[in-house]
Amino acid sequence: MSFSRTSRSRRTALASAPRCRRSPRILGSIAAALTLVAVPGTASAAAVPQSGAGLREVLFVGNNWDGTADVIKSTGDFAKIGRLNVIPDKDQRLAEIYSDPVKLGYFLGIRQTVGEGHDQFVDDMYSTPDGSAVVVSRPSFADVVSIDLATGKINWRFPVSGYRSDHMAVSPDGQRVAVSASTSNTVHVLDIKTGREAGSFKTGDKPHENVFTDGGTYIWNMSIGDVNTPLDAPELDATKGDRRITIVDASTFTQVKVIDMRDRLDAFGRQDMSDAVRPVAFTPDESKLYFQVSFFNGFFEYDVASDKITRMKTLPKNPATSEDRTTWVNDSRHHGISMSPRGDKLCIAGTMDDYTTVVDRASLREGPLVSVSKPYWATVSGDGKSCVISESGADQVTAISFATGRKVVSVPVGDHPQRVRLGHVAANWTGSAAG
């Protein structure tokens, strides 16, 4: 591929959350119980029933700066089906924010830093099992809302603790969503139909990705720490805060285990690496965790049973990418990883290096470097044949074949696409009335 710098430059910052103390209670013999079922980015991770009578499987693409979600086909040509307005209450929310000096400070801080002059209106989204609504986390509004897909109106709204909402996960039965409240170091777990809180739990600094595991028995949360500070040199990594994987019982929300990747990275001989766990993917047999970390153009393999990092893969750098870490998005170099349904291929979004590549899991050899513009997320098509990448720098999504590692098709979407999730809508849905 020919490297180029076609995408927007980005800087990030959010107000620092209070530091949490690391829990001393780490249960060393529960690895077998903590097997992983919901695999992020795969078809099974949609946690909704297969399309039946009256339902159609789709991909939801969250356009963060637009405040919209494009709905596209989940396979084939990935053609656009319709668009949903996820901020129908924008005027009301802004009136509330501008009347509260503290909320306004955080709101404007998000706009000028992590949003690059734009408000962040949609981070993550999942449809309800019956395809009647989509649940959306809205960072700048610090909330989660359920939007009726037929009318475009809000069914319910849940304000998260603190001042920013972030990544979500849906339970395997589709009945609950877990959302990270990034400035309060909290994960809220909500009933997907009513929006009522079933429970919550504390995490490390800046909770990020959530994953339901063992059929919905556990929730894993990855906290990434203070990705907004300019203290990005490797020797200053400890200043980034309390970063860890927190595992809780999904029924009681009590802590089961804490995994400190600092210890595991040190044991692997990579004291120079950040321990901020970014996007993750698990093998179908639930034995291995693949994860990205801040500042690294590659990923690690973690064996769940032995509780050890077993392999590392370094991917190519784009020679045009600045080595000034303060210019990288949220301390990321690469951000986005998914796995083929058979578990033989990994799809990697090389965010700051402007490419995507498919990696053979057995050999860790990468395929062709497919030129894309600041890819932000990687998921899997409905038929499992393609990796679907959101190109935040080009306002499109691109499908890449797991079999060949080459581009299949690109589809234009809204401004600054980020998360892409499988879900369902009514078979005849073409857009909401309020959209």
pLDDT in tens, 330-352: 889 999 999 999 999 999 999 99
- The Cα–Cα gap between 121 and 100 comes to 19
The position carrying tokens 């995507």 is 356
Give me the sign of the Cα torsion angle 107, 70, 423, 153: positive
DSSP secondary structure, 155-166, as one string: EEEEEPSSS-EE
Beta-bridged to residue 347, according to DSSP, are 338, 358
pLDDT averaged over every residue in the chain? 88
The position carrying tokens 């990448």 is 389
Higher pLDDT pick, 396 / 33: 396
**pLDDT at residue number 233:** 84
Q: Where are the domains of the chain?
A: 43-426
| C-alpha torsion angle, residues 78, 79, 85, 86 (rounded to 10) | 0
pLDDT per position as a tens digit, 43-79: 333 444 444 569 999 999 999 999 999 999 999 999 9
Class of domain 43-426: mainly beta
Mean pLDDT, to the nearest integer, of 26-39? 37
DSSP secondary structure, 299-320, as one string: EEEEETTTTEEEEEEEPPPPTT
Of 65, 174, 53, 155, the closest CA to residue 422 belongs to: 174
pLDDT band at residue 20 using 50, 70 and 90 as cut-offs: very low
The position carrying tokens 């965790």 is 289
- Is the pLDDT at 140 greater than 80, yes or no? yes
pLDDT per position as a tens digit, 401-429: 999 999 999 999 999 999 999 999 999 99
CA 133 vs CA 18, 60, 277, 346, 432: distances in Å: 34, 12, 31, 31, 10
Percent of the chain scoring above 70 in pLDDT? 87
- The Cα–Cα gap between 421 and 208 comes to 16
Mean pLDDT, to the nearest integer, of 369-382? 97
